[in-house]
Amino acid sequence: MSQSDVKKVVLAYSGGLDTSVIVRWLQENYACEIVTFTADIGQGEEVEPARAKAKAMGLTEIYIEDLREEFVRDYVFPMFRANAIYEGEYLLGTSIARPLIAKRMVEIANQTGADAISHGATGKGNDQVRFELGAYALKPGVRVIAPWREWDLTSRETLMAYAEKHNIPVDFKKQGKKSPYSMDANLLHISYEGGILEDPWAEAEEDMWRWTVSPETAPDQAAYLELSYRNGDIVAIDGQAMTPAQVLETLNKRGSEHGVGRLDIVENRYVGMKSRGCYETPGGTIMLKAHRAMESITLDREVAHLKDELMPRYAQLIYNGYWWSPERSMLQQMIDASQAFVNGDVRVKLYKGSVQVVGRRSDDSLFDESIATFEDDAGAYDQKDAAGFIKLNALRMRIAARKRSVV
């Protein structure tokens, strides 16, 4: 399909520098109709101004949608049932938002008769893969236009120059900086890349962090939260029932007040390079710690261990953009089945950047105090049984030692 064959394109549109330039570039290079789609997934900024910006550029088909509840309910919560974490640290805040955006872009393309979608992800990053794998999985014949892989605008400076030349308003410039941070935010996290962070030895500037107070200046008094779980999901905080988005909003607020959730990592991108990024994930940090505590008393040992073995693969699927793949769906069914008895309450303590579990209880608990006690168990457990257990488990090693003994 050539450029002239594209009749209508759905553009993932934020109203920022990149996507505003893309609108004008698509108009100049593809001469096609443009439909903009702006998703409110809790990025903390008003999305309605995107409508005015799109109209000012001559666009008439403009979709602006509040997807916060769907985002947390259908993407964030299922991911946290798996305790997913990439390369031991990253809570996948950017990764998990992409399949939802891809899904809505495809749905809007179907509604409007568009034959293509477009996004502002660069040719160096993971997001191009995530958007496009999702789109192809849901609409196999869709055309994808990725301007960063086609145009000769190679930096944010050249984008700004293009914007000035074409009278495109630019909202975000950092005075005194050659390049502003590249940021992505949603209800789960905010990320920072670029600028001084491109030197992995350089410490992030304190004024970069937008959500959390520094642990050093966090309150001297700890805060306690009681999280109530049903089937692996938080349904109430301190006894107050909440929707999924309300849960995450509340945990973000409380965690941010106590400096919880800052992260500075170098990660391995799917395209092959290493990348340094900083993240703030206050609510997600609390959720991961608390969910593992809830599972610790409600999951069978072998089920819990099997989940832990499969988790890195599940996290990698999400990071690499395979949310809509059959293998992720298969894993999700297994994970969700494991959560049937993950019910009860977890109490956590927030203090100067840390999250500590200080209590857990459940009507479905497998913790048997009468057996686990160090006091008199009234015959609930016969300690003599352990001798045979140990000897049987040592049998193969004892046989090998005898056969190979040089004595």
Task: Tell me, yes or no, if 5 is annotated catalytic.
Answer: no
Amino acid at 168: I
Structure tokens at 202: 């350089």
Distance CA 229, CA 245 (A): 15
Domain final residue pick, 136, 165, 194? 165
Task: Tell me, yes or no, if 149 is annotated catalytic.
Answer: no
With left for phi above 0 and alpha for psi between -120 and 50, is residue 378 left, alpha or beta?
left
Catalytic residue among 51, 73, 115, 182: 182
Phi then psi dihedrals of residue 299, to 5 deg: -95, 140
Distance CA 336, CA 78 (A): 8
Catalytic residue among 127, 130, 228, 233: 127
Q: Are residues 263 and 335 located together in one domain of the fold?
A: yes
Judged by DSSP in three states, 169 sits in coil
Q: Are 145 and 2 in contact (CB under 8 A)?
A: no
Q: Where are the alpha helices (DSSP H) in 280-372?
A: 282-298, 301-320, 326-338, 369-372
Task: Tell me, yes or no, if 98 is annotated catalytic.
Answer: yes
Question: How many separate domains does the chain show?
Answer: 3
Distance CA 72, CA 94 (A): 13
The per-residue pLDDT for 35 is 97
Domain final residue pick, 165, 199, 230? 165
Q: Are residues 356 and 387 located together in one domain of the fold?
A: no
Task: Tell me, yes or no, if 364 is annotated catalytic.
Answer: no
Judged by DSSP in three states, 211 sits in coil
| Tokens 């477009």 sit on residue | 118
Residue 181 is given by DSSP the state: P
Q: Name which of 56, 52, 58 is nearest 33 in CA terms.
A: 58
Q: Are residues 266 and 337 located together in one domain of the fold?
A: yes
Could you tell me if residue 261 is inside a domain? yes
Integer CA distances (angstroms), 300 to 167, 221, 280, in order: 62, 36, 32
Domain of 315, in residue numbers = 182-361
Q: Are residues 146 and 212 located together in one domain of the fold?
A: no
Residue by residue, pLDDT tens for the chain (407 residues) are: 456 689 999 999 998 888 999 999 999 999 999 999 999 999 988 888 899 889 988 899 999 999 999 999 999 999 999 999 999 999 999 999 999 999 999 999 999 999 999 999 999 999 999 999 999 999 999 999 999 999 999 887 898 899 989 888 766 444 344 435 788 999 999 999 999 999 999 999 999 999 999 999 999 999 999 999 999 999 999 999 999 999 999 999 999 999 999 999 999 999 999 999 999 999 999 999 999 999 999 999 999 999 999 999 999 999 999 999 999 999 999 999 999 999 999 999 999 999 999 999 999 999 998 888 888 888 888 899 999 999 999 999 999 999 987 55
For position 317, which CATH number holds?
Answer: 3.90.1260.10
Q: Are residues 255 and 319 located together in one domain of the fold?
A: yes
For position 107, which CATH number holds?
Answer: 3.40.50.620
Catalytic residue among 24, 68, 81, 98: 98
Count, residues in the chain: 407
Q: Are 277 and 265 in contact (CB under 8 A)?
A: yes
Q: Are residues 263 and 348 located together in one domain of the fold?
A: yes
Could you tell me if residue 373 is inside a domain? no
Distance CA 117, CA 320 (A): 20
Could you tell me if residue 371 is inside a domain? no
Q: Are residues 322 and 246 located together in one domain of the fold?
A: yes
Catalytic residue among 14, 18, 68, 262: 18
Q: Are residues 193 and 141 located together in one domain of the fold?
A: no
Domain final residue pick, 137, 165, 193? 165
202 Cβ partners below 8 Å, 6+ apart?
196
Q: Name which of 93, 100, 97, 127 is nearest 284 in CA terms.
A: 93
